[in-house]
Amino acid sequence: MMASPSTVTVSQDAAGRWFVSLLCEDTIPDAAATNAAVGVDVGLDSLLTLSTGEKVANLRHERRDRDRLALAQRRLARKVKGDGANRAKARIKVARIHARIADRRRDHLHKLTTRLVRDNQTIVIEDLTVANLVKNHSLARAIFDVAWRQFRELLEYKADWYGRTVVAVDRWFPSTKLCSACGTLAETMPLGVRTWICRCGVVHDRDVNAARNLLAEGLSVIACGGGVRPQRESSRMGQSSAKQETQRATAGLPPLTGERCQPMNVRGRKCSR
């Protein structure tokens, strides 16, 4: 089908590359019908962990070019600001490395989001506040490199194109500490604990367990027509959502005698706070 562009935009980026954008009206073909649903937990060790148990590696695009970028930036810093031609060449070299990193990251995210939207009718993610997470200066660089916000933007507009559903579970939902088998809520879960044993005896991979809990919570929101989970305090009960979740998760379970549910590593030793 032939289409006539209504708008043509010519632009140049910081790396000196020229782009031509054509705006056309087009019809996106319907995606194949499916009833599959998946929960997606984002991370730093693995970029994505799916409720199916699949883990997508974090390619660490910025780290791969970090030495080249640092060298180019040092050379740029040594250029005198009045030296126009040499400084411009050094600036373009830095911009090209940044563009190479961004292009690789964008290409990888496009492939991942297209596969998720094509294979699943419902995709459940966590409603993360990236702006608050990057305030941790020891993790900020790694968080910017995985581009969680860009991943969500790509996923949502592609889902809208193909008639899929993206559910964002509230950030205060304890997906990591909740046992996906029995519903027990662990008291603490330090970042260093990657595998833990629930009191029901199930050994959990931290990320896979979180993805399964996100999927279950997202499906319950769709089935019940619920909205966003209360974040810090419930106006009805006057309790924090964490306390309410603890009561819901442990309802109907026999009380523990003398000890609380603690995250444990695979050797059975309790993990420190």
53, burial (CB in 10 Å: exposed 0-12, middle 13-18, buried 19+):
exposed
Confidence of residue 267 (pLDDT cuts 50, 70, 90): very low
- Spatial distance between the Cα atoms of 152 and 173, rounded to a whole number of angstroms: 18
2 lies in a domain?
Answer: no
Residue 71 and residue 110 in one domain: yes
Residue 8: φ, ψ to 5°: -125, 125
State whether 160 and 267 are in the same domain.
no
| Domain C-terminal end among 118, 142, 169 | 169
Residue 235 pLDDT level (bands cut at 50, 70, 90): very low
Question: How far is it, in rounded angstroms, from Cα 51 to Cα 37?
Answer: 9
How high is the pLDDT of residue 18? 95
Half-sphere exposure of 234 (CA within 13 A, CB side): 13
For the stretch 46-65, pLDDT in tens is 999 999 999 999 999 999 99
Residue 83: pLDDT above 80? no
d(CA 225, CA 54): 29
Give the residue, 265 or 235, on which the prediction is more confident. 265
Residue 221's domain comprises 170-273
Is 18 a member of any domain? no
Tell me the pLDDT band of 270, cut-offs 50, 70 and 90. Answer: very low
Q: Answer yes or no: are the C-beta atoms of 126 and 39 closer than 8 Å.
A: no
Domain count, the chain: 2
Q: What is the pLDDT of residues 7-51, one digit of tens each?
A: 999 999 999 999 999 998 888 877 888 899 999 999 999 999 999
Mean pLDDT of 68-94: 90
Do 163 and 203 reside in the same domain of the chain? Answer: no
For the chain, first and last CA: distance in Å?
Answer: 62
- Domain shared by 222 and 264, yes or no: yes
Supply 96's token pair: 């090209």
152 and 235 in a single domain? The answer is no
87 and 207 co-located in one domain? no
Task: Give the strand pairing for 46-50 and 55-57.
Answer: antiparallel
In a domain, 155, yes or no: yes
Answer yes or no: is 57 within a domain.
yes
The band of 215, judged by pLDDT with boundaries at 50, 70 and 90, is very high
Does 260 lie in the same domain as 148?
A: no
Residue 162 and residue 187 in one domain? no
Higher pLDDT, 242 or 95: 95
Whether the pLDDT of residue 230 is over 50: the answer is no
pTM of structure: 0.76
Given this model, what pLDDT does residue 64 score? Answer: 92
The pLDDT, as a whole number, for residue 225 is 66
Is 221 inside a domain boundary? yes
Q: Which active-site residues does the annotation give?
A: 41, 126, 207
- Report d(CA 122, CA 125) in Å as an integer: 10
